[in-house]
Amino acid sequence: MIPKEDNTYQQYHRRVFAHHEAGHATIAYRLGRKFDHIEVIPSLTPWLIQFGGSMGHIDYIGLMYDETKRGIEALDEVLSKQLQAIIYTYAGPVAEARLEIDPNKASIMEYLDCIEKCLDMGKGAENSDYEQIEKILQGIENVKLDRVKPESFRFFDRMYDPERMMMRAISMVEKDWDAITRLAKVLIDRGRLSYDEACVVIENEDR
Ligand SMILES: [Zn+2]
């Protein structure tokens, strides 16, 4: 068990979770997904450790779909938003790993391993990134079986390949790494940021 007075330990975890949430928030913002707020709590309690709980949180606002779209257009919109959801869900664990490993100095395999490790930590926990992605992929698979002709399966699987989404998340996190670290820093200071406050930090390069 971790002693509560161990400040270094708490600070370390707060920093890790702040980057994780800043990763989700920055990439969600870039892809047009709104959230109500992001936050990191001050310390890890023994209860949280025991139940694999998180020190950070992002509260997304429900996905909105254009009701006027029909048929293939509507399907296309649903699927592209689901794909984006996979990307910004991956962006949390990717940002967490990016804090540990600089892909310019380490091998891509080391980096990918570290991302997998960060993602696996939530395995089995309700609403963890791992579970979210599994849920979205299952939804996409159902759409495929329901609406796609078997001869188009290959094309569909190539389009909706989770590995591709992971690579996309990695390149987006890399490109926006300055904004993510800036946002994480402000989040550590303030504990909680609304969507509008987070957007200002992401956009303001001089902070
Ligand atoms: Zn997360």
138 CA → ligand 1 middle, Å: 19
3-state secondary structure string across the chain: CCCCCCHHHHHHHHHHHHHHHHHHHHHHHHCCCCEEEEEECCCCCHHHHHCCCCCEEEEECCCCCCCCCCHHHHHHHHHHHHHHHHHHHHHHHHHHHHHHCCCCCCCHHHHHHHHHHHHHCCCCCCCCHHHHHHHHHHHHHHHHHHHCCHHHHHHHHHHCCHHHHHHHHHHHHHHCHHHHHHHHHHHHHHCEEEHHHHHHHHHCCCC
129 CA → ligand 1 middle, Å: 5
151 CA → ligand 1 middle, Å: 36
69 CA → ligand 1 middle, Å: 31
Each residue's pLDDT expressed in tens, for the chain with a length of 207 residues:
444 556 787 888 889 999 999 999 999 999 999 999 999 987 767 666 666 667 889 999 998 888 898 888 888 899 999 999 999 999 999 999 999 998 889 999 999 999 999 998 878 777 889 999 999 999 999 999 998 899 999 999 998 899 999 999 999 999 999 999 999 999 999 999 999 999 999 998 755
| Prediction pTM value | 0.90
Neighbours of 13 (CB within 10 A): 20
Query: What integer pLDDT is reported at residue 1 of this predicted model?
Result: 47
Query: What integer pLDDT is reported at residue 104 of this predicted model?
Result: 87
Q: List the domains of the chain with CATH numbers.
A: 7-203 (1.20.58)
